[in-house]
Structure 1
Amino acid sequence: MAIQSNLTYWRRLALDHQGLGSSKVFGHGLEGTLRAIEHLGYVQIDTLSVVERAHHHILWSRVPGYSLDALNQLTCAGRVFEYWFHAAAYLPIRDYRFALPRMLYFRRGESPYFRNVSAKLMAEILDRVRGEGMLRTRDLKERGKGQGSWWDHGPGRRALDKLFMQGDLYERVNISHETARDTERRLLHVMTEARVRFFPGTYTFLEFPLSSFSSAARPDALALVRDDKVWSQLVPCADVEQELFGVFRFHFPEGADNSGFVGWLAMRLKQRFGTGVFVTCGQNRDEGGIFDYWGVPASLASDVFAEIQALVDGQVDVEGEFSCS
């Protein structure tokens, strides 16, 4: 019993020290957010989004009254900064001095990866951000194909990355400050450009052993996925003994900025209909690249389909209300 008691004590101590105990040690709101970042020392910026982006989860779970705009406010006030410490992160401004040697390392051209970066492209990017003010990386759109493009994985992308790593883009190129309203506005627009298909009837997942693929895989399956033991195929089915789903699919135009789309739409459907979803992805390069199959409980399919059609038709505004158009 004594050993278990000690283990419980150490678990609680670890959670309390991380700010996850029952008492909220950092305080509330903006100042609480700052104290949490200073205590943790590092909050990784992550584009993964279920309900909200991952770095917001870290702070929301520790700071009562946390606001999605708090990080933006703290950065603009010079109280925290963004930089690459293992990964992109928010760091307390008191630690900026520790980032300076790393910035100088990149500025001096000592990094092998950034040794042959185009000075012309770097100057071009700096001219734009100086002229237009703070930008998001998605604002630096690719200027055509081939040489000279900014947003690719070649010279342009390395130029942008080097400027960030050597500290020239601090508070100039914004890699994370899209507000929830901005995200919703962007994704509502993206949906009006999407091609959606609603599949008639209902579907279910049927399993079969890995060894039976050649004989059991069906040509009418919309998707086949596997784990270590079985294949699972999404196929038409009307058997009420099975778990049945209504299915729809999205294709987006090439270049559409639909980052965060799955988490945003899944949460919207959860809030409006009280249901979860499944999403299975595939790729068709001739139709814009990655596409999604979505499944919802068959009993809610007609209502969900109507909601999706309204979104695609642009009949929903940024507040989530139906528009008059």
Structure 2
Amino acid sequence: MGEPHRVGIVGAGTISGAYLTTLRDHPRVTIAAVADLDAARAASVAAGITGCRALPVDELLQDDSIGTVLNLTVPAAHASVALGAIANNKQVYGEKPLAADLPAARSLISQAAAFEVAIGCAPDTVLGTGVQTARAAVDAGLIGRPLSAVAVMATPGHERWHHHPDFYYQPGGGPLLDMGPYYLSALVHLLGPIVAVTGAASRLRPARVIGSGPRAGEQIPVAVDTHVTGVLHHASGALSTITTSFDAVRTTAAPIEVHGETGTLAVPDPNRFDGDVRLFEPGAADWRVLEPSAGYVSAARGIGLLDMLTAPAPRASGALALHVLDAMTSLLRAADEGHRIDLTTTGDRPDPVPLTPAARWRSA
């Protein structure tokens, strides 16, 4: 295998802990440095990792010993940090969305190609046994020809639990750009690329109140739509309906259902790596739970970066993230303009993930 691949993390916020659970002790990588606008926070994270340094962002991006930058900044900074890494001939794996807007995302893909470096992007939850087992069932013909899917993400909003939720309600945020990548990435894995979208959107109120933490009770402005619904037209002919909302108290809807000519699949939450995949067939008395048959077993955030380092074609790729961002921003524009919009990106479904035991990917 050679020497471990050296990774530098930019952004030491809450999500970094989830990535470090997977990557800190993995034999494939070494966490060489951490950078954050809050130098004390970077120092605190680095202190918990053997041999890791806390660096200013620019120094980390320019460090020749680092091969890949893990970009865990807020959405508004995704593009600038990634471009800085690419300009220094580094691979990039980042949190979703790929960038706050489509032109910036296109620039990232173009620059990565020009510098001949790989670029990957969350979500990697779709590489777990949940979505991958559902995909295997579709590919095996267990529901016949797929006709449609329904995806629902409905919550009261992240200000209830997040101590600094401002960015969720600013450009680059909102329920679709925040949570939609999980659902649309899953739908592309299940049904293939999207060719066009239609949609509608609304905004319940102009401000939100932080519910916990040191800023509890503080009002923050809302600059984005907080309930978005749309129809995705897949190249295969299937139609997906998606609803993402920060305006709902609760829902009993399945996260994703895929309907085919001879059956329906209930797909677990695409914000998780696992969960039961259930099949209902004509004449059955009840749903049947399918045994996990594909995906990284017991995976967690960071598996997409490991996949990028080892797979022939990265599955949580920048190209897929660009396509998903194109679909989401086009849906928001369709809602604003009131008509169908054809997408300008396309691509193939990512390669499926064979059933991979945890012991194998944790030691590979």
Which is bigger in relative contact order (C-alpha 8 A, separation at least 6)?
Answer: 2
TM band (smaller chain): under 0.3
Q: Which has the higher helix share?
A: 1
The two structures have a TM-score, normalised by structure 1, of 0.23
> Radius of gyration: which is bigger?
1
- Normalised TM-score (structure 2): 0.21
